[in-house]
Structures are given as structure tokens and as C-alpha cells.
Amino acid sequence: MNPEFCVKLGINPISWSNDDLPSLGAATSLATALEEGSAIGYEGFEMNSKFPSTGEAIQKLLQPYGVELVSGWYSGRLAQHTVEKEILSAASHLDLLAQNSVKILVYGEVAGSIQGLWVPLYKRPRFRTDSAWCAYAKRLTTFAQYTLRQYGIRLAYHHHMGAYVQSPADVDQLMELTGEEVGLLFDSGHITFAGGTAEKFLEKHLDRICHVHFKDVRSEIMQIAQNRSWSFLESVLNGVFTVPSDGAINFSPLIERLQAKGYQGWIVVEAEQDPIVAPSSVYAKKGYQTLRGLLNHFAER
């Protein structure tokens, strides 16, 4: 085992209640998610909309459960905003993360995004020219330099269905044009849904990956979603995503590559599903046991 390989397992509360589709798990309290997730063995939680809005309140919330704040999604708009405007917009979120000793900012570009709309995925926004790509990459790099310099927090860019950066080619372009300060969030489910191969994608961008979301994909639902031009919301509602070991992705080589590289950080189970169809604690436990078993296996090698 690579002695530099150091991983903590976290989970996103999206398994209990969904921010993009608030009707899914709307009645489930954050306390329920924290209680069940910590009992399963997760060491940390990412934020969702049910979390308090201050760092101090989050510290008080998490302390009784013995879990850490992993990070939190930040809805960025650098495709439209200036860097100066983005810095002002992100200030309270960055303060909150810093107060909880978080070292990663999950940056999701929501300008023009259709991820929360009932709109076919092929209608997502795109940078149409090289100059548009370069201008965006420059703003993103400058913003990432700021978060690292001022807060010690590295930007982890979340490639996402329905957004400007969705496909493997989009990510390739982004990584080529941005500086090293821009880290990459590797999401196994999103890159598979976007037409990539998780293992090949991970290998290609391993040097820039600073945060990991592990979700599985039900290939038959993914195929229907593509054939019928479903929206992201339709795809989620019909069960395109699930937890590791419940779909088509092989997670063993992914962990093996992270281990070989000496990855240090969080692996977060994030699988948006309808909790009525896929009971939250049952699937959260399934995801945890799968990943813990793989991590233990490689630790013994």
C-alpha cells in the first residue's frame, strides 16, 4: 500500500433529501441523515440546503454526531460574472468552510445550467468559441488562486450534467486551459452518464483530482435517458444514479489508481435517488460497505 494514500469516507445528504428535486425527501430532517449516516460509519458530510448558514452553527450541529464537514457545493457563475463579483458572492461560503477547517470548495458552474430544469440535456449551455473558453478559464484560474491564497481552500471543479462542462472533452479543455490551482472533482457517475469511461478519465486527470464523488450508474436507465432526450431531473427521478456496487461501474480499479497515486482526501458517496424507491439508510449502508471493503482490501496488499 502507498503510505501516502489517506482516505476518509463521507456522504452527501442528497441520499436523504434532494436539493435539485426538493420533493424527494422533503420531510426528512437533517438530523435523521446525520444520525443514520454517522451510525453507518461515515466520517463526514457534505452540505445541502438544510444545513445552517454559519460556520459556528454547523460546528454545533455536527459535534454530537462525531462527523466532520467535508465541503459544500458552491453555485458559481464565472461564465457570466467577473472575478471580483464572484469573490464577493463566495465570501460567506468560503468563511463558513474555513471556520470548519475545510480545504476543498466544490465549484459547480450554474450560469446557464439546465440541471434543475425539465429541459433535455442536449440543450445545455456551451462555450462556442476558443476565446470564450479561454476567457472562462482565465477567470476560473484567478478565482481559484484567490481561494487558495486567502483561505487555503482549493477549488475542486465539478463537471456536471446539464452544465457548460459536462463531457470528457469539456473537462479536457478546461484542464488544459486552467492553472494548477484549479483542481478537479472526479464524479464517477456524471462522467459515465456524459459518455466517458470512469477508469480512463480518472487515469487521464489523476494529477488534478483533489476531491472524489463516487456514484454508480444504472446503464439501462442511462440508455433510455439518452434515447428519449430526458432532462437531468427526469433521469434522476427514474433512477439513473445509485450507490457504488448497485450499477455498472467497477470501483475496484478506481480505488486502486487513487491508492497508487497516493490520493489524500475524501471519497464521498453521492447518489441522488428517490428515497421512497431506494430507502436512504439502506443504500447509504450499501455504498459504505462496498467502499470500506475495497479500501480494506487494498490496505492489506
> Quick check: is 155 in a domain?
yes
> In this structure, is residue 237 part of a structural domain?
yes
Give the span between the Cα atoms of 187 and 214, in whole angstroms: 6
> Number of folded domains in the chain?
1
Q: Are 186 and 199 in contact (CB under 8 A)?
A: no
> In residues, how long is the chain?
301
Instruction: Assess if residue 44 is contained within a domain.
Output: yes
- Return per-residue pLDDT of the chain as tens, 301 residues: 677 889 999 999 999 999 889 889 999 999 999 999 999 999 999 999 999 999 999 999 999 999 999 999 999 999 999 999 999 999 999 999 999 999 999 999 999 999 999 999 999 999 999 999 999 999 999 999 999 999 999 999 999 999 999 999 999 999 999 999 999 999 999 999 999 999 999 999 999 999 999 999 999 999 999 999 999 999 999 999 999 999 999 999 999 999 999 999 999 999 899 999 999 999 999 999 999 999 999 888 7
CA-to-CA distance for 202 and 191, rounded, in angstroms? Answer: 10
Q: Examine residue 105 and state whether it is found in any structural domain, yes or no.
A: yes
Does residue 249 lie within any of the structural domains? yes
Tell me how far apart the alpha carbons of residues 122 and 230 are, in angstroms, rounded to a whole number: 9
Residue type, 225: A
pTM of the model: 0.97
Inside any domain, residue 202: yes
What is the residue range of 171's domain? 6-299
C-alpha dist (Å) from residue 233 to 214, 222, 229, 239: 19, 12, 11, 10
* 1 located within any domain: no
The CATH number linked to 226 is 3.20.20.150
